[in-house]
Every structure is written in structure tokens, then in C-alpha cells.
Amino acid sequence: MSGKLSRETLVPLLAAHVLEHGLNHASLRPLAKAAGTSDRMLIYHFGSKDGLVAALLEYLAEMFAAALDTAFPAGRVASRRDCIEQVLAITAQPAFQPFFRLWWDIVAGCAAGNRAYLDAAGAIMDLLLGWIEAHLPADDPDPAAAARLVLTQIEGAQMLQAVGRGDIPQAGLSALQS
Amino acid sequence: MSGKLSRETLVPLLAAHVLEHGLNHASLRPLAKAAGTSDRMLIYHFGSKDGLVAALLEYLAEMFAAALDTAFPAGRVASRRDCIEQVLAITAQPAFQPFFRLWWDIVAGCAAGNRAYLDAAGAIMDLLLGWIEAHLPADDPDPAAAARLVLTQIEGAQMLQAVGRGDIPQAGLSALQS
DNA sequence: AGCTTTATGTAGCAGGCGCTACAATAGCCT
DNA sequence: AGGCTATTGTAGCGCCTGCTACATAAAGCT
């Protein structure tokens, strides 16, 4: 076929397929076809399906972090509410939708007790918390608590968005102190 | 083998199994065994697996509403923050855990575009929003917005709880006006 | 009584699943 | 050149999936 397909060249192709078709329902043969290989080769390179998923989660977390850094303005934001609104505005872009489809798969896996998913999801939340802390106004009376409040609000908004009730968090923002 | 198993007698048994083992990965034969019948009978009574899932979602939504009404104090609550804390305290009880495992399955289905899941999840959120509106302090300056803020905060907290970061929303509460 | 509708069991189909066995190739090291 | 190791292909195993065919029994209804 197209020459050498190593672990490293495979992962981005697999990740693209997973972003488009979901993670929980992804099975070896369609994945292999999407990457131009066989299920046999995926097992060979990653040992097992669990190994493949672990590699994918790691890669996708890096991808998400990179997308975050490039999509957001570098400076600090005017207020807590401003922070929430900016994050929601940018993650509402179509380019982020596949990430969220994947994200809710991962959360469901966490709730079902999947350890690998728990580790990956927790790390991503920590990352996001750090990003928010770095972008909130410097004069906030309690920056640590504010960042946690903002993160919770953002995640709640994204869940409600996912179930078609994005208007609820939007209307709730006016009840939040600046 | 215990005589007549109608649609109505089947649904609670199936719901119990789904609450324990998840909805997305539930398949006909284990479900049938849990309900003391065969996959053939499930198809007969519900037409297809989709029909079965629809019936289960409807039943489980009613079940959740009932659990909500019995578990919560009837009166109003002292403050927005109080409302969040009380809801989180009660839904953190072990008895509610199976509901949440199911819930995140449903949210993942919504994000994947499943219409039946979207309808059920949206209805449940509307229900919860109504409950919050009825329990918030009567003297809130903007009750509608406050209820939406509180709901968003609660749902964000529950997602973070699901991925093992329950400490984040907890610490964020102190940044919320009373 | 006869007949139609409803309910239930047994067997099986076609296909997808993760994974393995075995053999062959390809490329490097000496 | 010869051998060793890393890689790749083909076939298939055993299991599970939703669902169907067909026969059977029970339960009204006339």
C-alpha cells in the first residue's frame, strides 16, 4: 500500500475518525479502514484495543489543549461573566463540536467506572481550570474560588447545550455578579 | 415462567437492570434474562430495541421525578447557594448514583444526535428547572435568571463530580453571591 | 364448538466483535 | 550472503448482536 505506517503516523488518522464517529462505538475494523490498515495491524501496534484507546486519549488531550491555546486571546478578560461568555462563544464554534461529542462519551465512561477515562478527563479539567485561573481578572477578590465557579458554570452550560437547552445557562448569566 | 408478563410488568424489571448496568451497552438477551423472559418476547412487546429504549426512558424519567419529590424538603430554601448545596448533598447519596450513570449515557447519546435521548433529556432538565424555581427564595431579585444560574451550576458540579473533580465546584461556591 | 387474536417458546440467520495462529515478506546487522 | 527481527497479510475462531421463521398454546368472541 502506502509504505510504512508506524504507531505515530496511525494515531492522527485514528483520532480523526474517532472525532467524527465517536469513541464508545468505535471498533477495530472501521478504525483500521479509516487509517488504511487492518485490525490485525492495530492490535500489533497497540497491543489491544484498550492500548489503542489510551494512545488516542493522550493524543486527543494534546490536540484539545493546542486548539484551546490557539483559539483564545492571550490577555486577561474583563470579568468572571466575560470569561464564561468568551469560552462559551468560542467552544460553540463548529470546529469544537466533535470534541464535545467525544467528551460526553468520555464522561459517560467515567460514570461507568472506566479508570482510563477518569484519568484523562480529570487531567483535562485540571488543564482547563489552570487556563481559566490564568485568564481571570488579576484583581479578583478570590481568584481560586472564582476560577472554580467559572469552570463549573462553563461545564454546566456545555452539558445543557448538549441536551438542547443552551438557552438556560445563557439566561442564567444575568444573575451572576459581574 | 411466572405466568403473564405484560409490557407494564416488564418495564420496571428492565429499568432496574438498566440502572445497574447502563443503557448504552444494554443488549436484548441480558435484559431478557434480568426480566425473566426471552429476547424474542422483548421484541414482541416493544416492537424493536428502539421501542424498548423509548419505553424505558419514559419510565425512568417518571421514576426520577418521583425520587426528586420524595427526597427533597417541601419548603423554600434560604439562598441560591443553599439551594445548590442541598441539591448536591441529596443527589450525592448512593441511591442516586445509578441515575447519574444513566444520565451521562443519555447526554452522550444526545451529543451523538439521538433524537429520543434529546427529547427525554430536555424534558428532565425542564422539570428540574421548574423544581428549582419553586424552591428558590421568594424574595430573589430575579427568580427566573437565578433558577437558571443555579441549575447550570448544579449540572456543572455533577459533571465534575462524575470525572472525579467534585472538589472543584465545592471550592467555587464561596465565590458565588449568597 | 370453532375461529381469531394474543402471547410464548425454540432455532437459527447474517453479521460484527476483539483477538489469534500461521505464514510470508522486508529490512537491517554481521 | 546469511540470519534475525520487525512488520504485514490471510483466515478464522468463538462469541455476541438485533431480529425473524415457525410452531404452539392460551384466551376471548360469536
Nearest residue to D11, CA vs C1'?
Answer: A40
Asked if residues A161 and A92 have their Cβ atoms less than 8 Å apart, the reply is: yes
Rounded distance between C-alpha atoms, residue B64 and residue B82, angstroms: 22
Q: Is the CB of B6 under 7 A from strand C?
A: yes
Q: Are residue B46 and residue B86 in the same domain, yes or no?
A: no
Q: Is the CB of A107 under 7 A from strand C?
A: no
Which residues of chain B have a pLDDT value below 50? Answer: 1-2
Q: Are residue A105 and residue A53 in the same domain, yes or no?
A: no
Rounded distance between C-alpha atoms, residue B174 and residue A114, angstroms: 31
Q: Is residue B66 part of a domain?
A: no
> What pLDDT is attached to residue B4?
60
Q: Are residue B1 and residue B23 in the same domain, yes or no?
A: yes
**Chain B neighbors of A24, CB-CB under 8 A:** 24, 108
- Is A163's CB within 8 Å of B126's CB? no
Q: Write the CB contacts of B3 (distance below 8 Å, at least 6 apart in sequence).
A: none
Nucleotides of C strand lying within 7 Å of any protein CB atom:
7-12, 16-21
- Is A172's CB within 8 Å of B145's CB? yes
Q: Is the CB of B43 under 7 A from strand C?
A: no
Asked if residues A5 and A35 have their Cβ atoms less than 8 Å apart, the reply is: yes
Distance from CA(B28) to C1'(C9), angstroms, rounded: 16
> What pLDDT is attached to residue B1?
42
Q: How many domains does chain A have?
A: 2
> What pLDDT is attached to residue A69?
86
- Is B22's CB within 8 Å of A105's CB? no
**Chain B neighbors of A157, CB-CB under 8 A:** 152, 156
Q: Is residue B5 part of a domain?
A: yes
Asked if residues A32 and A95 have their Cβ atoms less than 8 Å apart, the reply is: no
Which residues of chain A have a pLDDT value below 70? Answer: 1-5
Q: Is the CB of A6 under 7 A from strand D?
A: yes
Rounded distance between C-alpha atoms, residue A115 and residue A122, angstroms: 11
Q: Is residue A64 part of a domain?
A: no
**Chain A neighbors of B79, CB-CB under 8 A:** none
Q: Is residue A27 part of a domain?
A: yes
Q: Are residue B40 and residue B6 in the same domain, yes or no?
A: yes
Q: Is residue B14 part of a domain?
A: yes
Q: Are residue A136 and residue A103 in the same domain, yes or no?
A: yes
> What pLDDT is attached to residue A177?
80
Q: Is residue B67 part of a domain?
A: no
> What pLDDT is attached to residue A6?
80
Q: Are residue B56 and residue B76 in the same domain, yes or no?
A: no
Its domain, for residue B50, covers 1-60
> What pLDDT is attached to residue A4?
58
Task: Tell me what percent of the residues of chain A surpass a pLDDT of 70.
Answer: 97
Q: Are residue B145 and residue B103 in the same domain, yes or no?
A: yes
Rounded distance between C-alpha atoms, residue B9 and residue B17, angstroms: 14
Q: Are residue A92 and residue A143 in the same domain, yes or no?
A: yes
CATH code assigned at B47: 1.10.10.60
Q: Are residue A31 and residue A81 in the same domain, yes or no?
A: no
